[in-house]
Chains A and B, each alone.
Chain A
Amino acid sequence: MAFDEMLTAESHPRLPYKTYHEWYTNQDAAHLIRKTQDAENIFRKTGITFAVYGHADSSEKLIPFDIIPRIISAREWRKLAQGIEQRVLALNAFLDDIYHKQEIIKAGRIPRELIEKNSAFLPQMIGFKPPGGVYTHIVGTDIVRTGEDQFYVLEDNARTPSGVSYMLENRETMMQMFPELFTLNKVQRVEDYPRLLRQSLASLAPPGCKGKPRVAVLTPGIYNSAYYEHSFLADQMGVELVEGGDLRVIDGRVKMRTTRGYEAIDVLYRRVDDDFLDPLTFRPESALGVPGIMDVYRAGNITIANAPGTGISDDKAIYSYMPEIVEFYTGRKAMLENVPTWRCSEPASLKYVLEHIEELVIKEVHGSGGYGMLVGPTATKKERAEFAEKLAAKPNNYIAQPTLALSTVPIFVNKGIAPRHVDLRPYVLVSDKVQIIPGGLTRVALKQGSLVVNSSQGGGTKDTWVLED
C-alpha cells in the first residue's frame, strides 16, 4: 500500500490536509464537477497547451488539471529545501570542476570516460568560467516520496527544466475558483517566480554590461512543445521572446533585429538545446540557434542560461554518482537520497537487471519526458522481451531503478476522490544565492495504479501548496 499524503490508513486527514479536508467534506459533488469543467475552460481559453510529438491530429493538448491541491507542511518543506540547495550547489561545483581542474576524476570518484565520452560534455566549455561562475541558473529537481519522511531525488533537470508556467497557472486557477481556500489556509506564495527569475538572470549579466541588463528568452518557436511556457515567461518577466532568426552576431555582440535596428542582448534565457545553439560550433543544420553565439559567449559578452554543457549533469549515468558528487564538493553526506540505480554498463549490474526486468524501471541514459523507458511491472511480456534485446545490445545506454511505491494524493473523480501517484518538481534559481520557490509542479498519474506522471504519457497536474508555519 503506497503512502497517501492526505489520508492515513484509518482515513483520517494528515495534519497539513486537516483544514482542506474539512472544507472538502462540506462541498457538494455537483459543484466540484462544475469547477473541474471551469478549470478546463480557463486552460483552453488561455491556450495553456503543450504539443505531443508524433500526434499529427492533435498538435495542441491540455494537461489535465486536478482541483485537489497537494499540500506540504512548512516542516517537510524546510527539509526538502535544504537538501535541494545542497544538491544544486554541488551540481554547480561539479560542472565547474569537470570543465576546469577535473579533481573529481583525479580523485578516482568518477570514471574519466563517463565524462569525456559523454555527448553532453562540451569541450568548448573547458577552461571557461561563465559570468558569476553559475552554470545552472534554473534547476527543477524531481522529487518523489515513499513515506512520512522518505524523499528521493529522481532527476536533477539542470538543463532546461520546463513546467514552471503550470505551477503559476495552477495557482492562478485555484485562486480564481476557490478563493475561500486561501483564507482558510496560509499558503506560501509562488507568484514571485517571474520577478525573481528576471532579477536572478539580470544579476548574472556579463561584467562588461553597463546599465540595466537586457534579458531575452530564446524559443525554438510556436511548434515547440513548451512554446506556451516560453511566451508566458517572457510576458511575465516583461522581456522579449526571440527566435534564432531574430538574432545575429554583430561587432562581437548578440543583437536582435527590431523595427528600429539591431539592439544588443546581455542575458539570454535559452530554451533551445546545446546542440542547436550555434550552428557554427554544434549542429551545422540548426536553424534554431545563432551562428557565432559561442564566440560571443566565450569572449564574455553575453550570459547564456543555463550555461552550455550543463546537460551532462542531467545524464542518468552521472545521476547514479550524485551521492559521491555531493559528498565530494560539500564535504557532507547528501541530505536527499538518490534512488538506488543500476548502471547497465557494468556487467554485474546488467546481469541483475536482465534477471529482474519485471521488477525494475529501465531508462535511457539521455532520455527524458517518459520516452524510451520500460516500467517492468506493468509492461507486457512482449514489451519486456523487446526491451531486454535493446538493453543487451547497448547496455551503456541504460540505467535501471527499482519501482518505488510513490506516494499518492487523491484526485477528484466523478464518484468522489481516488488516490493517484504523484511526483514533485520544485524550481530553483541560482545566482549569488540559491532561491527555491515554495511549491513547484506536482505531476499526477491519472490512471489508477500508474506510476508514469509525464504529461506526454497522460499525466496531469495539481496545485502544490507549501503551508506557512
Chain B
Amino acid sequence: MLGRTANGLYWMFRYIERAENIARLVDAGLRVSLTRAGSSDEDWHGVLESAGVRETYSEVHAELTAADAIDYLLRDQSNPSSVMSCIEFGRNNARMVRTALTRETWEATNECWIDLKARLSRKLKPADLPELIDVIKHRCGLIRGAFHGSMLRNDLYNFSRIGTFIERADNTSRILDVKYYVLLPSVSQVGSALDNFQWESILRSVSAQRSYGWVYDGEYQAANIADFLILKVQMPRSLAYCYEKIVSNLGYIAEDYGERLKAHETADAIRSTLKRGTITDIMDQGLHEFLEDFVSRNNQLSAEITEGYRFYQ
C-alpha cells in the first residue's frame, strides 16, 4: 500500500470522526440552552473550547452568540473543524484513496457529502437543528457501517481504524479538559443543579448519558464521570477503549509486516498507563495535567505512525 494511501485513509476517518464529534458537541450545547433556566450565550464558550476553535471563532466574530457559534461549528468553511469542512476534507481524502475503498464505503461517503453540502449551504434555522444533527450522526454512521460491513481486514482497515481512535481519544480528552474544573472535588458542590447540568452535558457530548446510568446506577459523581470517560474500557469513547483498539490495530500491522516500530512502544506505554491507573491517582496527580499530558502523547503517537509508515515521505 502507498504511504499516501495510508495517510488518506487515516485522515479520512479522523475527519469523519471529528465531524460526528462536533455534531455531538453542538447537540450537548443546544440541550443545555434548552433545559437550563437563565442560560446564556456564554454557555457556548465551553463548546467552542471543546471543539478547539475558541480563538479562531473570535477572529471571525466580535461577539459570542448562540447563533454565530452554531453556524461557525456546523457550516463555516473558514473553520477547518466545522462539520462542513470535516466532511469536505474527509471526502477529499476518500476521493484520493478511492481505489482502496469498497464501493459501499465510497458511496456512503460521497452521499454524506452531497447531502450535507446541500443542507449546510443555507443559513440554519433553530427549528431545523435537531434534525440536522441527527442527519450528520446518521450519515457518519452509514459510512462506518459500510466500512465495517465491506472492507477487507488488512492494513487498509487497520490504518483507517487507527485514525478513528486517535481522533476520538483526542476529542474525549478535550471535552473533559474543558470541564475539568467542574469535576474537581474542591470546587464542586456535589449534587447541585449546576453540576448536574455540566455533567449531563459532558455525557451527552459523548453520547453516554444512558450508558453511564447502566454502569454507575445513575448517580452523577465527578470521579465516576472521569472514570467512565478515561478508564472504563467498555465505554467506546473512553481513552482506555481507544487505546485498546489502537494497540490491537497497530499489532495487526506489525504482524502483517513482520516489524514493530517506535509507534508500537508508544502506544503500549499509553495503554498501560490507562490500564494501571485509578481515577483517584489521576485526580490526585491533577486531572488537567493528566489530560494535557495525554493529548500530547496522543499527538506524538500520531506523528510516529505518520513517519514510521511513510505517510508523507
Contact = CB atoms under 8 A, between A and B. Distances in A.
B2 A258 contact: yes
A47 B113 CA distance: 11
A240 B2 contact: yes
Interface string A236-270: 00001111011000000000111111000000000
A437 to B, nearest CB: 22
A45 B114 CA distance: 8
Nearest to A248: B313
Given A242-B2, A256-B2, A46 B107 contact: yes
A242 B3 CA distance: 10
Given A45-B111, A243-B4, A246-B4, A259 B95 contact: no
Given A222-B92, A259-B155, A245 B98 contact: no
Contacts of B4: 242-243, 245-246, 257
Nearest to A259: B309
B6 interface: yes
Residue from B92, B253, B309, B310 with most neighbouring chain A CB atoms (10 Å): B310
A342 B253 CA distance: 63
Contacts of A46: 103, 107, 110
B99 interface: yes
Contacts of B146: none
Nearest to A263: B2
B98 A235 contact: yes
Contacts of B96: 221-222
Contacts of A256: 2
Contacts of B107: 45-47
Interface string A355-367: 0000000000000
A231 B2 contact: no
Contacts of A234: 99
A47 B101 CA distance: 13
By DSSP majority rule, is chain A's interface helix, strand, loop, or mixed?
A: mixed
A329 interface: no
Contact of A246 (B3, B98, B114, B253): B3
A259 B1 contact: yes
A44 B253 CA distance: 35
Contacts of B110: 45-47
A259 B310 contact: yes
Best-buried of B1, B2, B110, B114 by chain A (most CB within 10 Å): B2
Interface residues on B, range: 20 to 34
Interface in B236-284: 253, 257
B122 to A, nearest CB: 15
B114 A259 contact: no
Interface string B1-38: 11110100000000000000000000000000000000
Contacts of A231: 95, 98-99
Contact of B106 (A47, A245, A258): A47
A257 B92 contact: no
Nearest to A47: B110
A128 interface: no
A227 interface: yes
Nearest to B257: A260
B106 to A, nearest CB: 7
Contact of B99 (A45, A241, A246): A241
A256 B313 CA distance: 10
Nearest to A241: B99
Nearest to A247: B2
Interface residues of A, number: 22
A246 B111 contact: no
A242 B96 CA distance: 10
A257 B114 contact: no
A222 B111 contact: no
Nearest to B308: A259
Interface string B97-139: 0110001001100110010000000000000000000000000
Contacts of B159: 259
A231 B2 CA distance: 14
Nearest to B96: A222
A259 B257 contact: yes
A159 B209 CA distance: 61
A134 to B, nearest CB: 26
Interface-central residue, A44, A222, A256, by most chain B CB under 10 Å:
A222
Interface in A436-466: none
Contacts of B92: 222
A293 to B, nearest CB: 17
Interface string A41-55: 000111100000000
Interface string B144-155: 000000000001
A44 B111 CA distance: 9
Nearest to B95: A222
A257 B95 contact: no
A258 B98 contact: no
Given A45-B110, A47-B106, A258 B1 contact: yes
A227 B95 contact: yes
A241 B5 CA distance: 9
Interface string A128-166: 000000000000000000000000000000000000000
Interface of A: 44-47, 221-222, 227, 231, 234-235, 240-243, 245-246, 256-261
Given A47-B98, A246-B4, A259-B309, 6 more contacts: A46-B103, A46-B107, A222-B92, A235-B99, A258-B1, A259-B257
Interface of B: 1-4, 6, 92, 95-96, 98-99, 103, 106-107, 110-111, 114, 155, 159, 253, 257, 309-310, 313
10 contacts: A45-B114, A46-B107, A47-B107, A221-B96, A222-B95, A245-B4, A257-B2, A258-B1, A259-B159, A260-B257
Closest 3 pairs (CB-CB, A-B): A259-B309, A235-B99, A231-B98
